[in-house]
Amino acid sequence: MVKRIPRQIPILTVLIFALLSFGCRKGIQGTLPPDQYPASSFSAVFDAFWSGMNTNYVFWSIDTTNWDRVHDEYAPKFSRLDINNPVHVDSAFSYFRQITNGLIDGHYRLTFTLPQLADSFLQPSAVKRYRVPPLPFSFFSKTITQRYFSRYWWATTPFQSVVAGKPDTLSQGIVAGLIDPQIVYLHLDAFYLSDLLGHRGFEILDTPWNQFLSLLHGNNVKGLILDLRSNPGGLLADLNLVAGQLIDSPLHFADTREKSGNGRLDYTPWAPAIATPQSAVSYSQPIVILTDQNSQSMAEMTTMALKCLPQTWIIRDTTWGATGPLNTDVGLYGGGQFSFAAFGYVYTSSAEYRYRDGKFYEGKGFPPDQYVPVQPAAISTGSDPQLEAAITYLNH
């Protein structure tokens, strides 16, 4: 069969070759690491901060802050500031406060290396979540022990650590005891035990911890009260040390994922967050966890892990809402903490955290099963309505 070539075919061929010749994609321009921007102007400082947040902030999938609008609104404002003018430095601090105010990361803290701002920091969650001051350790070690406990041991010790990129002196306290009839009690005012227990200089912690373990696995125990009120968190390794005493098989309680690229929504797959057992026997008695608004980070994660056990009951108040885990190994994870333009440091979570129920509690806090209101008058007289509610729960 013989056909003539349609006239359209040669024309189409010309078009295709023209497309091949001229149809090219735009170039691929990268971005600088935020710490490599010059600190020569506020424009560069803002660009470094804004770009670093694009890359390193792990909550863009759930945070509703319009980061592009931040750029459009604040880039011109920063460009009008003179980095050598002290008044303008104050203006910049004010802008940073406005920019970060809506971020949901409960750990987020912005500190500055500029001498004028060296003592200043911004912590958006404190503005939103701070309602009452944390209970002092003496409330747990003296006030309530003398009133409610039949036997108790306590210890506290200072130690050095690095927080938000700066060396700091912290403390670790433990209160362990027995409340009649046969209710075991443990209070931790921080989670640094795995770094301190068994180490020279911190032997003081061994006695209350060992007494707690002895009581926990003793006979005729009616239940456990784990008091994590006013606990600001600490080391991830303490999850296994504490929660691991109550389980005899791995406990998958949440999932985490990290940043995998420069885009705000570039993430790794979800990895399981698992508590590893430290005991050959699971704890089958009821567990009551006491939390308050100042229960943060590891205190929240420990609470959430143990809430997966059917016998756990949480009393008092919604926690702080800082569930994203942190690690100081900045190069290992795709996001998290970063310094920008030799001007400031962003302390932020290294991974996004999703609880076993599929929900995110970052910036919201983990709710209790039973809400017991704060009663300052009662606390000032040495009574503890939340502890009493826990005792009542375990006795019924």
The three-state secondary structure class of 95 is: helix
Distance CA 190, CA 294 (A): 11
Positions in 81-100 near another protein (CB under 8 A) = none
Rounded CA-CA distance 113/121 in Å is 10
Which one of residues 178, 186, 190, 273 is an interface residue with another protein (CB under 8 A)?
273
- Which residues within the stretch 54-83 sit at the binding site for another protein (CB under 8 A)? 54-55, 61, 67-68, 71
Binding mask 215-254 for another protein (x = CB under 8 A): ---------------------xx-xx--------------
Q: How many CB atoms lie within 10 A of CB 155?
A: 18
- Alpha-carbon dihedral sign for residues 61, 66, 351, 253: negative
Residue identified by tokens 């460009």 is 79
Backbone angles phi, psi at 178, to 5 degrees: -130, 130
Report the first-to-last Cα separation within the chain, whole angstroms: 95
Query: Closest CB to another protein among 196 and 394?
Result: 196
Q: Is 107 in the site for another protein (CB under 8 A)?
A: no
CB of 387 vs another protein, minimal distance in Å: 30
Q: How far is the CB of 353 from another protein (least distance, A)?
A: 9
For residue 355, the cross-strand partners are 254
Contacting range for another protein; rule: CB under 8 A; set: 50-58, 100-108, 162-170, 174-182: 50-58
* Residue 15 or 281 having the CB closest to another protein: 15
Q: Pick from 106, 173, 334, 363: which binds another protein (CB under 8 A)?
A: 334
Contact characters 337-376, another protein, x per CB under 8 A: -------------xx-------------------------
28 binding another protein? (CB under 8 A): yes
CA distances from 393 to 144, 284, 286, 287, 343 (A): 18, 16, 9, 10, 52
Residue 1 corresponds to which amino acid?
M
Contact stretch for another protein (CB under 8 A) within 140-148, 210-218, 273-281, 381-389: 273-281
Q: Which residues pair with 171 in a beta bridge?
A: 158
Give the position of tokens 């902030």. 57
The Cα–Cα gap between 320 and 355 comes to 15
The footprint of another protein on this chain (CB under 8 A) covers a number of residues equal to 64
Backbone angles phi, psi at 356, to 5 degrees: -60, -25
Mark the segment that binds another protein (CB under 8 A) among 110-118, 121-129, 178-186, 322-330: 322-330
- Residue number with CB closer to another protein (24 or 377): 24
Look up residue 172 and give its amino acid.
Answer: Q
Report the interface residues with another protein, using CB under 8 A.
1-5, 9-14, 16-21, 23-26, 28-33, 51, 54-55, 61, 67-68, 71, 236-237, 239-240, 256, 258, 260-266, 268-269, 271-274, 276, 325, 327, 329-334, 350-351
